[in-house]
Structure formats: C-alpha cells, structure tokens
A = this chain, B = another copy of it.
Amino acid sequence: MSLIVQKYGGSSLSDADSIKRVARRIVDTRKAGNSVCVVVSAMGDTTDELLDLASEVSPAPPEREMDMLLTAGERMSMALVSMAIANLGDSARSFTGSQAGVITDDTHGKARIIDVTPGRIQGALDAGHIVIVAGFQGVSQGTKEITTLGRGGSDTTAVALAAALGADVCEIYTDVDGIFTADPRIVPTARKVDRISNEEMQEMAASGAKVLMLRCVEYARRFDLPIHVRSSFSQHQGTWVVPPSDSEGDQMEAPIIAGVAHDRSEAKITVVGVADSPGKAAQVFNAVAAAQINIDMIVQNVSAAQTGKTDISFTCPKDDAQRAVQTLQAAKPEIGFDSLQFDDQIGKLSLVGSGMRSHPGVSATLFQALADAGINIEMISTSEIRVSVVTRDDQLDEAVRAVHSAFGLDSTEGEAVVYGGTGR
C-alpha cells in the first residue's frame, strides 16, 4: 500500500461543486488501495475576502491577528472537503496545521517550517481514515502561536508532510497540466515536460517559473521526494519532479534543455564611478545585505584605465529596490561613488537544463538567437545548469520565443494551455 500526499489549491476548491469533485478524486485514490493525506488551501476567493475585511477594520493589522484571521480559510475548506468525502461513504478527519504537527519559527506571515511531528495524522492514517490537513499554517515552537507560511505555503506544507510521513509521492494539484518548457501565454508552442530533475526545477522556480514555489522544490530535493504536478481538472499525467538519477537514468540521451523561464520581478541598480580598488564591491554589497535585501545578478564592468573608476550593477526584487537605493545613498560618504542609476524596465530570461553540463556551446547558441532577433543583452550570469540574461522589459517575450525555438523546444502539436499562478 502506497502513501500518497495530495495538495489542492484554491482554484481547485472554488465552490461546493469543485469541493465535491476533489472529494471524488481523493476517494478514488483511496479506493485504489492507497493511504491518502490531503493538504488544502483556502477556497477560491476566501483569502481575498478576509483581507478585505481586515483592511476595513484596520489599515495596518497586527501580523499575529492577521495569521489568526487567514487560517480560518483553510479551516473551512478542510472541514468541507472532509464532509464531502463522508458523503461519498468514506471516512475523513481534518486537522489544522497545529494539530498536524507543523512546527514553525515565530515569523508571522512568512514562517519557516522547522519540524513536523505528524503523530496525530499518522494515527488517523493507521486507523484507516483519509486525512485532510490545512495548508499554509503551523504553530510556532515554544510560544505556540498560530503562524502562516507565506507564498507557496500550502505546497510546502504538502512536501513537508510527505517527507515526515515517508510518503511515496507528493501530488500537487493545480489548474494547469504540469510544468511547461516556457510560459504558454508567451510561447503558444510550449510543451508540457513529462519529467524534470529537482535541480532543474529548482533553477526554473528560482528564475521565475511560477507553478511550483522555490521553497517547496528545495524541500522536496532535500528529502529526495518525488513531486507530481498535475491538473485537478483532468486525469492526464502531469510533470514528475524527481531526483536527477531518476530523471536521466532511464534515458539514453537526456534532453539538453528543460525549459526557458522568465522573470519581470526584478530591478537593476548601477553604482556609477566606484574606485576600482580591492574591497569596494564588498562595501557595496555589505551595505545592501545589512538591509536584508537579496541580490540576484551582479556585473562589474572593466575599469576605465584613465579614471581608475568602475561601475557595479546588480539586480534585486523590485519591492526592495527603493530601499536598496536609500541604503546605498546613506553609505555614499563611506563607499565613495559618483551616482546611482535605477532601472525597473528590465526582464530576465533563464535557460535551464542539466544537459548543458556536458554540451558546450549552449551559451553561444543562446546569444546568437537573441542577436538574430535584434535583442540586446544587458547582463549575463550563469550557474552549472543555467544561463540567465537581462534584456529590456518590452523585448523579453520576444526573447523567450526566440530562445525556445532555437533550442528545438517548440511543440509540433501547437497546443496552447494557459499557465496559472500558484495561489498559496
């Protein structure tokens, strides 16, 4: 008997009918001879409605109370899913994050899971029940406060429970058929990927692919847990996210490229006219790090010999960019530079594939494809299985299509499936 953890997002639980449909799918999985533990998000619009109510009573609600409020959403959906399962003649027990043993730190609104003690849900599974767990929530160690996990929290709950229970697979149900070689809204010829390694998925998620959140992929990779991303609206196989050996071992030649991700969430800041002397870059990035801002790409131009000065550019989340500028401006006397340039009209394209390790020339093909399309490259960064470039924002879509095509990823079937967000 296999143990399967399933996660259903809010778009799969939008109303009573969809809850009944999800319940049918859960019961079918159980009837096929599996133990089933299900993680649910809040129903469709519930979270937005709760946020609206909160903003009506307070412009800046305390985070502790916001977590108390929002966790009511999963409480409702898990009880309703359990009822719908009971109505199909099977037996379900719902548990809050706290009851399920999801132990977090005490950072309200974006808590990290630090332990899972699934004794109660293991007991319910052993007793033959289907277990329904509230995603997105936990209880803080020590202080026993209710916390929420922030974006991607329900996926992370599912993967964390799957790891703690020793599940055979974690199925993430969403409103798309799986992981695609690119966002089908931009590349209509994008293909669904049948299998992808978790390290590739991690690079894709870190580079802007939105179907799975980075933290959930990281968690699954740490525990070698297979994830099956699939649609709750069809019975099709989706995409398996698996350890590298599983994704490559059974194929004579693994595909070089897994997909093309894109990201519009970053801005570029350039520190102009820094002295080209040892320790200056460290001063710049120490200042930014002290403000708790995550840097993505960094480029330092070659020094102009006449002046002894250089320019340092970096990208960071748009939401943090103004704060980064203020931080650097405050440190100007200490660091010493001419000026700061701020640019939020950029886009990032990332080509991801573990096959590029053994295939030289991937970067050259990428740059040639962009040159042929008349697209200028502003920054470049690489990892072992990824090449990323920054372009103008308004050229990014065209860049994604050009690269997708240049690496032979276009589907001959021309199927266009709309790509969705993750909800939580």
What is the bound-complex CA distance between A68 and B82, given in angstroms? 10
A114 CB within 8 Å of chain B: no
**Contact of A83 with B61 in the complex, beta carbons under 8 Å:** yes
| From B50, B58, B61, contact of A76 by CB (8 A) | B50
> Measured between alpha carbons, how far is A386 from B60 in the docked complex, in Å?
54
B64 touching A16, Cβ below 8 Å: no
Q: Mark A124-153, 1 if CB is under 8 A from B, else 0.
A: 000000000000000000001000000000
> Complex formed: what's the CA distance from A94 to B20 in Å?
33
Q: How far is the CA of A120 from the CA of B146 in the complex (A)?
A: 14
CA distance A79 to B51 in the complex (A): 12
Is A69 engaged at the interface, CB distance under 8 Å to the other chain? yes
- Chain A interface residue count, Cβ-Cβ cutoff 8 angstroms: 38
Assess whether A103 is interfacial by the CB under 8 Å rule: no
A73 to B99, CA, bound (A): 19
User: Given A53-B76, A76-B53, do A84 and B66 touch, yes or no (CB 8 Å)?
Assistant: no
| Chain B residues within an 8 Å CB radius of A78 | 68
Q: Which residues of B contact A79 (CB under 8 A)?
A: 54, 65-66, 68-69, 72
Shortest beta-carbon distance from A219 to chain B in Å: 27
Q: In the assembled complex, how far is the CB of residue A10 from the closest CB belonging to chain B, in whole angstroms? A: 15
Cα of A57 to Cα of B54 in the assembled complex, Å: 28
Say yes or no: A57 contacts B84, CB within 8 Å: yes
In the complex, what residues of B have CB within 8 A of residue A253's CB?
none
Min CB–CB distance A335 → chain B (angstroms): 40
**A16 & B57 in contact (Cβ 8 Å cutoff):** yes
In contact, B82 and A65 (Cβ under 8 angstroms): yes
Q: Which residues in B have their C-beta under 8 angstroms from that of A69?
A: 75-76, 79-80, 83
User: Would you call B68 and A86 a contact (CB within 8 A)?
Assistant: no
A93: chain B residues at CB < 8 Å are: 64
Does A322 belong to the interface (CB within 8 Å)?
A: no
Q: State whether the Cβ of A29 lies closer than 8 Å to any Cβ in chain B.
A: no
Contact B86–A56 (Cβ < 8 Å)? no
Shortest Cβ distance from residue A86 to the other chain B in the assembled complex, whole angstroms: 5
A64–B50 Cα distance when bound, in Å, is 24
